[in-house]
Amino acid sequence: MSFNIKEWIFTTDHKRVGVLYLIGSIAAFGVAGIAAMLMRIELSTLGPTITTNPTQYNVWLYAHGAVMILGFQIPALTGFFANYCIPLMIGAKDVAFPRVNALSVWLFYVGIILALLTFVVPDPPDVMWTGYPPYSTITTGNTALYSFTVLVLGFASIIGGVNFLTTVAYMRAPGLKWSNLNIFVWCTLGAFVLQLIFVPVLGTAVTLISFDKYLGTHFFDPSRGGDVLTYQNLFWFYSHPAVYVIFLPFIGVVYEIVATFAKNRVFNHKVVLWGGIGGIVILSGEVWVHHLYVSGMADWIRIGQMVTTLLISIPVGLLVISLAGTLYKGSITFETPMLYALGVLFLFLIGGLTGIPLALTSLTLHLSDTYYVVGHFHYVMAVAGTFAIFGGVYYWFPKITGRMYNERWGKIGFWLTFVGVNIVFWIMMTVGVKGMPRRYYDYSAFPQFESAHQWMTLGAAILGVGFLIAVANWIIGAMKGAPAGDNPWRSQSLEWTTVSPPPHGNWPSPPSVDPDWTPYSYERR
């Protein structure tokens, strides 16, 4: 494969667009990860450690949160995996609108560059990834940069959504029924439906804070008839569903991996589609107030959304049962992708269950805005999602590159990260329950937590090494790994039926499937 940079930049091939998304989002992960490491080092002693300027810490935290979510997880899941896998999984030559696809990846890079400007502009945004007014409208930090970053990345994602919904609707291989699509495809469609409905709300929210700050409007200024809570409602009206925009594709990746390495049919496939994925899509828009339990919302809605929040346990529980059931009577092997997928299940179990106290309004009056929350959402979304992304990259690595990564180093990297994240985020939850507030540059009011913070910093160093090993493993594997063959995992899914790496157009002649074929039919040989 000769390398021609122009061909890559101007590519409309969904696989290359996907790889561009992957490279950009892993780079973003690196930058946001460095910010996390700097925060952890800063917190390793009481009082100032590596910077005496609280704003510096706040900017790291802003960059960490915003880039991890908007620049890493959403683009990796709905940009890279969706692009690379969906056309291959449905037996299509490409996406419906290849040029729109190219536009979306360019916009993504513009968004990443805007986000990285945080580190060079004179007054970087310091509004946290949530950007709450009134602070965001009075800070000397650059709130406009925040608004533009969100708008550009949001727009990139929306046009991706339109593209994929059309692609799956019209370009499935002959014989491929909706109900026999890969679970990953369904999950991603669910995520895109959420993006299409809710991103515009986020766009409105961040646009209005910039209007307030720079154009002199008063949407969120009560002294002139505005209301500060309006922003929080708009913001979380999007940003809670955004959690499922991350969750759905990542659990979809886990399904593909678990089914392949258990060589088994997916347990209760139909209920996964309608009860699990459908249930999440429907409930996801009715729980945002659980982010506003202590912000002064009316009592009745706090109670109401306590109930809807608890009910989310039903579709999520159905998915977890189905994943466990998929192991039943399987023939399980434990290569690196499977380790990551099982890691996701473990982390998600802890993250999901520790969310139940947070669903209860009354318990949250103590837990909200503490390290308990930060520990919980890293388990359930941040780290579980990252493990799914890493597992997925390992899983499709032979397809993407035609080569094999190093299995031993893959496992070493996995175990380091797995141990590291549990040290960091378990301790984080315990200090949170004892009262450690989040977003603290200096915790002098809580000197008793210093040693816990030091353990967390140590854990972060361990997991950082694990991630570095994984990325190094990919780079080395892509350059000189052993040839992998077309279907090293013996999967039944369509993407493995073409050569590795697939040519432009994917198949010499488009595949078709029997009506009773599913991506998980291992028994019929």
Partner 1 sequence: MHTENTAPGGRVSATAAAWAGGCAAWLAAASALAYEPASAAPGRINDPAAGWDHLWHEVIVDITIIGVIFALVMAWFLWRYRARKPGEVGTQSKLSPAAVIGWAVIPTFIFMADDFYLAANGWKLWNDYRDVPADRMEVKLESGMYSWDYTYANGVRTQNVLRVPAGKPVMLRMTSRDTLHSHFIPDFRVKEDSMPGRVTYLWFYPKAPGEHVVSCAEYCGVMHSYMAGKIIVMPEGEFKTWLDQEVAKLAPADKAVDKSAEKTADKPANPPV
Q: Which residues bind ligand HEM (CB under 6 A)?
A: 33, 36, 39-40, 61, 64-65, 68-69, 73, 128-130, 374, 378, 381-382, 386, 424, 438-440, 460, 463
What is the distance, to the nearest Å, from the Cα of residue 208 to the centroid of all Cα atoms in its chain?
A: 26
Return the number of the residue (59 or 77) whose C-beta is nearest partner 1: 59
Query: CB within 8 A of 332, min separation 6: which ones?
Result: 261, 262, 263, 338
To ligand HEM, the closest distance from the beta carbon of 505 in angstroms equals 35
- Which tokens is 222 given? 């009560």
Q: Of the two residues 101 and 233, which places its CB atom closer to ligand HEM in the complex?
A: 233
- Residue 504 touches partner 1, criterion: CB under 8 A: no
Q: What span, in angstroms and rounded, lies between the C-alpha atoms of 78 and 69?
A: 12
Assess 445 for contact with partner 1 (CB under 8 A): yes
CA 38 to mean position of chain CA atoms: 22
Contact by Cβ (8 Å): 57, 145: no
**Tokens found for residue 348:** 């998600």
**Interface with partner 1 by CB under 8 A: which range of 80-88, 101-109, 168-176, 328-336?**
328-336
For residues 374 and 427, give the distance between their C-alpha atoms in angstroms, rounded to a whole number.
11
Residue 220: CB minimum distance to partner 1, A: 9
Q: How far apart are CA 76 and CA 22, in angstroms?
A: 6
Q: Does residue 333 belong to the site contacting partner 1 (CB under 8 A)?
A: yes
What is d(CA 424, CA 404) in angstroms, rounded to the nearest whole number?
31
Q: Which is nearer to ligand HEM, 323 or 460 (CB)?
A: 460
Secondary structure element (H or E) that encloses residue 56, with its range: helix 54-66
- CB-wise, 73 or 188, nearer to ligand HEM? 73
Binders of partner 1 in range 92-151 (CB under 8 A): 126, 128, 130, 132, 134-135, 138-139
Report, in Å, the least distance between residue 140 CB and ligand HEM.
Answer: 19
The nearest distance, CB 120 to partner 1, in angstroms, is 20
Our CB check for partner 1 shows the closer of 54 and 501 to be 54
Can residue 434 be called a binding residue for partner 1 (CB under 8 A)?
yes
Cα gap 382→386, rounded to integer Å: 6
Please identify which residue in 327, 404, 476, 499 interacts with partner 1, judged by CB under 8 A. 327
For 50, the token pair is 């590596």
Q: Which is nearer to ligand HEM, 315 or 459 (CB)?
A: 459
Number of residues that bind partner 1 (CB under 8 A): 90
Among candidate residues 271, 395, 386, the one with its CA nearest the CA of residue 321:
271
End-to-end CA distance of the chain: 34
Distance CA 368, CA 292 (A): 9
311 binds partner 1 (CB under 8 A): yes
Report in angstroms how near the CB of residue 197 gets to ligand HEM at its nearest.
21
Single-letter amino acid code for the residue at 344: V
Q: Which residue is nearest to ligand HEM (CB)?
A: 65
Judge whether 388 and 253 are in contact, CB under 8 Å: yes
Contact flag: residue 48 with partner 1 (CB under 8 A): no
143/491 with CB nearer ligand HEM: 143
Q: Residue 382 touches which of ligand HEM, partner 1, none (CB < 5 to 8 A by kind)? A: ligand HEM
CB of 66 to ligand HEM, least distance (A): 8
The CA distance from 87 to 102, in Å, is 15
- Using CB under 8 A as the binding rule, whether residue 228 contacts partner 1 is answered as yes
Nearer to partner 1, 164 or 449 (CB): 449
Binding test (CB under 8 A) with partner 1, winner from 158, 306, 423, 462: 306
Tell me how far, at minimum, the Cβ of 55 lies from ligand HEM, in Å. 13
Dihedral of CA 492/191/136/440: which sign?
A: negative
The C-alpha angle with vertex 461 and arms to 458 and 467, in degrees rounded to 5, equals 145
> Do 395 and 484 touch, CB atoms closer than 8 A?
no
Q: Counting contacts by CB under 8 A, is residue 74 touching partner 1?
A: no
- Contact segment (CB under 8 A) with partner 1 among 176-184, 199-207, 234-242, 319-327 equals 319-327
